[in-house]
Each structure stands twice: as structure tokens, then as C-alpha cells.
Amino acid sequence: MIVYTAVGKMNLNKKSNHKVPIEVCSDGKTKELNIQEMILWSVLVNRVLSKEDLMEMYYKKIDAFLFTIEKVFERDFEKTLQRLRTRNLIVQGEGHTCDEAVYNLVKNLYITPMQTGLWYKINGFFYLCFQKHVPIGYAVKVFQPYQFTKEEAYVLKLVKQTQMNSAEVIQCAEMRITDVSSNKKLMKALYDDHTTTCYNICHKAKHCQQRTVIIKAILQLYKTGFIRFENLEYK
């Protein structure tokens, strides 16, 4: 089984000369997207999808445009997906089961907390009301505080202190570590036993008892927009 998700953060470049002035910041680099890339990438934001579900949602998004695919879109689904993977904007995980594929997807991805202050909630409210035409009674729910589970709160507490990947978060949960307020403390907590390295920590985390509940918490935080993923080559 193969699952996919998006990495990075979208920006609108008003100075761009492109017809679709969309950029995605990922791995410390800014990359412009064309229409097809923007549609496919945006489908995967805050989602983890199989290839079949991704393809279905991709073509539904395309159908929302009032143009024919042959006339406007140069690249088909497969070519667009491969291009975004090559550009490190979409990542995939493989496994014999769904759980294994999801773990292989997120284990090396670094978790970045998203800003969720009052101003962002106000923007979200107006976006739902005036662009998505959601009833006001439903849109006002963006102001209601989200009730984090114990595991979700723990994950957020860690990643707000320093940049960590999912495997490191799992290892911290397994060892009941709460203070990673500096890179030095993180290294001492996880890599000070002379056997753990950045190359084998994903294998160690895979066998942790806390793996399932922490992965579930990470995915829920991602789904609800409290975090995003980054695919970094170096810390």
C-alpha cells in the first residue's frame, strides 16, 4: 500500500509574473507551482490519501474549473504527481498494511506547529462565510477551543520547543521526555546512548509501545491544521 501527503506551506506571490502566483515554501526553498501542481498539492494539505483517493479528488478539483482538461492542463495525474515528488513537495510512504505505510510516510517528516491565534481564527471565519459560503452558525465554531487529547497536547508541547521528526517524538514519548527546549537537550535525551543515530532512530521508534497513539495524535493534529510537515534533508 502507498499513501501520500503534502509538505511545506503555501504563499501567494503578488509580484509573480505567472498566471497562478502560488508558491510553496519547503526545505528552506520557495518553489512556484502551476495550476495542475497547485491543485494536486492542495488536495493533500492536511490529508493522507491513497493513490486512488488522491487521483479521484484531483480530477474532481479539475472539474471545478470551467475548462477542458485537454485544452488547459498539459500534465496528467501521473506526471504531475511525479514532478511534485521530484520537487520534494509531495512525499509517499509504502507498507504491507495501512499502519505501516502511514508510519513510513511520517517517520522522517519534521513537524512544524501552525499559528492559531485570534487573528487567524478571524481570517478563517471570514474565509468560510464569504468564500466558502458556510452558514454563520457553523463558521462561528472556529472560535470554539479545540479539546486536545493528552497525546496531542504532548506532541504540540514538544514540537513547539524545537524542530523534531515523528520518530523522535515517538522516542520521547516512550522515554517520557518533556524538556527538549534546545537542540542540545534533544540530542542528549535521544542520542546519548552511543547506539541511537539519526539513521536508526526510525527503526527503534517503529517498535515503541507509544508508536500507535503518538502517530494517531500527530495525524489528528495534521488533519485539524495545528501542524504541518517538512521534509528536511538536514536538521
How is residue 37 written as a grid cell? Answer: 501542481
Give dist(CA 209, CA 176) in Å, integer: 12
Tens of pLDDT along 150-205?
999 999 999 999 999 999 999 999 999 999 998 899 999 999 888 888 889 999 99
Return the bridge partners of 110, or none. Answer: 165, 230
**What string of H, E and C letters represents the secondary structure of the chain?**
CEEEEECCEEEECCCCCCCCCEEEEECCEEEEECHHHHHHHHHHCCCCEEHHHHHHHHHHHHHCCCCCHHHHCCCCHHHHHHHHHHCCCEEEEECCCHHHHHHHHHCCCEEEECCCCHHHHHHHHHHHHHCCCCCHHHHHHHHCCCCCCHHHHHHHHHHCCCCEEHHHHHHHHHHCCCCCCCHHHHHHHHHCCCCCCCCCHHHHHHCCCCHHHHHHHHHHHHHCCCEEEECCCCC
- The predicted model scores a pTM of 0.84
- How far apart, in whole angstroms, are the C-alpha atoms of residue 143 and residue 153? 19
Per-residue pLDDT tens, the chain, 235 aa: give them: 999 999 988 876 655 555 555 678 777 778 888 888 888 999 999 999 999 999 999 988 887 764 544 555 555 889 999 999 999 999 999 999 999 999 999 999 999 998 765 555 666 666 667 666 778 777 676 667 788 999 999 999 999 999 999 999 999 999 999 999 988 999 999 998 888 888 899 999 999 999 999 999 999 999 988 999 998 754 4
